[in-house]
Every structure is written in structure tokens, then in C-alpha cells.
Amino acid sequence: PNVTVAVGKRITERLVYAVRKNTKPEVTISCGISCWTAETRKSLKELVHEADEALYSAKRSGKNRMMIHESIK
């Protein structure tokens, strides 16, 4: 909460990397990012749906990565 998309992206990239490097046997994760601002006024349901769409996009793109929902780009 209360961070820019760029900061959220860096946090998520670090999380994806850390999980892969610090698990034995190696485990990977994929993450989806969505964003709410005063200007966009999304409901919680919309926000979670967008993050879920981005998550599945990451998984389809090869897993072990993060994706930002297309509405943010």
C-alpha cells in the first residue's frame, strides 16, 4: 500500500528472486500486480481480478516472474 507501481515492481521482483534462491528443493513463484489510485477508483473486486489476470499471464509466459496488469502500463 501507498507505493508507486515502480516500487511495487521492484519489491515483487526481489520476492520472486528470493523465493527461487532460498528454497531447497527450488521453488518458484509468479506474481500479478494491479494498482489503485484516487484517479482510477477501482473496487477491491476489480483490483483482485486484475492482479489475478496478471498472475495467470505471468504463468503462461513461463512462470517464475511477475507481470503488471495491462491497465497500468
CA angle 23, 14, 31 (to 5 degrees): 85
Cβ atoms of 36 and 51 closer than 8 Å: no
- What pLDDT does 36 receive? 87
Q: Within a 10 A sphere around the Cβ of 49, how many other Cβ atoms?
A: 14
Mean pLDDT, 10 residues at a time, the chain of 73 residues: 90 96 96 89 93 95 93 71
Give the cell for residue 28. 518458484
Residues contacting residue 29 through CB under 8 Å, at least 6 positions apart: 15, 16, 19, 20, 64
Given this model, what pLDDT does residue 1 score?
Answer: 77
Q: Can you give the pTM of this predicted structure?
A: 0.84
pLDDT value of residue 73 = 58
Distance (Å, rounded) from C-alpha 73 to C-alpha 20? 26
